[in-house]
Chain A
Amino acid sequence: MNLVLNVRSFSSDPIPAEAEQALLESFRLGPSSANVQPWELVRIEPEAMRQRVIAATLDPFLSPGTEGAQAWIAGAPLLLAVCLDRPRATARIGERGWEQSAQDAFAALQNLRLTAVALGLATAVVREFEPETMQKALGLPFTVEPLCLVAAGRSDSPPEIPPRLPLERILHREGAWEQ
């Protein structure tokens, strides 16, 4: 789990077909509120589509005018868009279902990322874009909205393990909110 990290440089080795299948299947098995499975995956394959997607990405502060900021995803052997189907997400409980669908999709995504680690692959999640722009870039129906991109591949660079808060900084034992 420590190795579920955003890696932004990949070797050019393609992901073997069975490994890709395992990643996709692990995503498919994610948990979802009321089992509505609100997600859709788009495999961003043709180069022209990949370029349109890159052109829709922004810098880490989502600054307008920084379109094309995540150009590194061009080198990802596998690039997927995780999308949410709004009617499926909201039919049952309304707008709260929309919030939950994003939570569910990220749980499914964690499945994929853990599977990637187990297979010796690295992943990165990209959320730096305006949904409407990315929706157009991906050519999605008006009822389907992009949540994030996920890039995957083999990486030669050593993982950069980020600092983590120790448990005692985030666990409030027996309900006591001590500082």
Chain B
Amino acid sequence: MTPQHIDAILRRRSVRRFRPDPVPDDLLRLVLEAGTLAPTGGNMQPWEFLLVEDPAMKEALVNETYSGYYSGPGNPQRWIASAPVLIVLLCNFKRTLARYGESALKIAPLDVAAAAENMILTAAHNGLGSCWVAGFREEEVCRLLGLPELVRPMGLLPIGWPAEEPAAKPRLPLRLITHRDRYGVPYFDGGPPQPA
């Protein structure tokens, strides 16, 4: 068998404009279930999902987002509110902390990231668009959603039917990011890194 890419990986884009059509419940459920199938340290499954349906809550949440590196108020990512589905990806550290102690702080968010990617790809596979949003004021979001102490928001995931077709972004070639045996020794060619 010829090695093949997973089509959804190739087709996935960060989509920031959506048609207003709703996402069917069974499809949404499929996306959430895909999250629960991600690899996870010790099978502790630290992911939890908070679906924001209340328009007022959606608005309040969007107001705590920002774009770029300036995290102060005034430049929220308004487009998020146009997504028919808004999922807050949560990390519940308590289970992993119980089993592994402090290393949970590293392990658990990685598990949630893997779950998020499963969800994003399942959405893409079914024609949905999504965009993982990390630019939000974490403490404010915790307060807004009433999160307990050991539950933290890892990202917002707006999902819907795409109203745009973003072009593929340039990606670093493997040649520049792959090392052999020791850091700094290229894996893919013997010479120094070439301009991309």
Interfacial residues, chain A to chain B (CB-CB below 8 A): 34-38, 85, 87-88, 91-93
Across the A-B interface, how many residue pairs have beta carbons closer than 8 Å?
27
> B42 and A34: CB pair below 8 A?
yes
Choice from A34, A88, A92, A93 contacting B94 with Cβ under 8 Å: A88
Q: Which of A34, A35, A87, A91 has the most CB of B within 10 A?
A: A91
> A91 and B98: CB pair below 8 A?
no
Bits for B42-82, please: 1 = Cβ < 8 Å to A, else 0. Answer: 11110000000000000000000000000000000000000
Whether A36 touches B99, Cβ cut-off 8 Å, given contacts A91-B44, A91-B45, A92-B44, is yes
Q: Min CB distance, A76 to chain B, in Å?
A: 28
Closest to B48 in A: A87
Whether A92 touches B43, Cβ cut-off 8 Å, given contacts A34-B99, A35-B99, is yes
Query: Per DSSP, are chain A's interface residues mostly helix, strand or loop, or mixed?
Result: loop
Interfacial residues, chain B to chain A (CB-CB below 8 A): 42-45, 92, 94-95, 98-99
* Docked CA distance A91–B45 (Å): 6
> B42 and A88: CB pair below 8 A?
no
> A87 and B45: CB pair below 8 A?
yes
Chain B residues lying within 8 Å of A38, measured Cβ to Cβ, are: 98
Chain A residues lying within 8 Å of B45, measured Cβ to Cβ, are: 87, 91
Q: Min CB distance, B183 to chain A, in Å?
A: 35
Closest to B92 in A: A87
> A36 and B98: CB pair below 8 A?
yes
* Docked CA distance A37–B98 (Å): 6
* Docked CA distance A93–B94 (Å): 17
Choice from A35, A37, A85, A91 contacting B43 with Cβ under 8 Å: A91
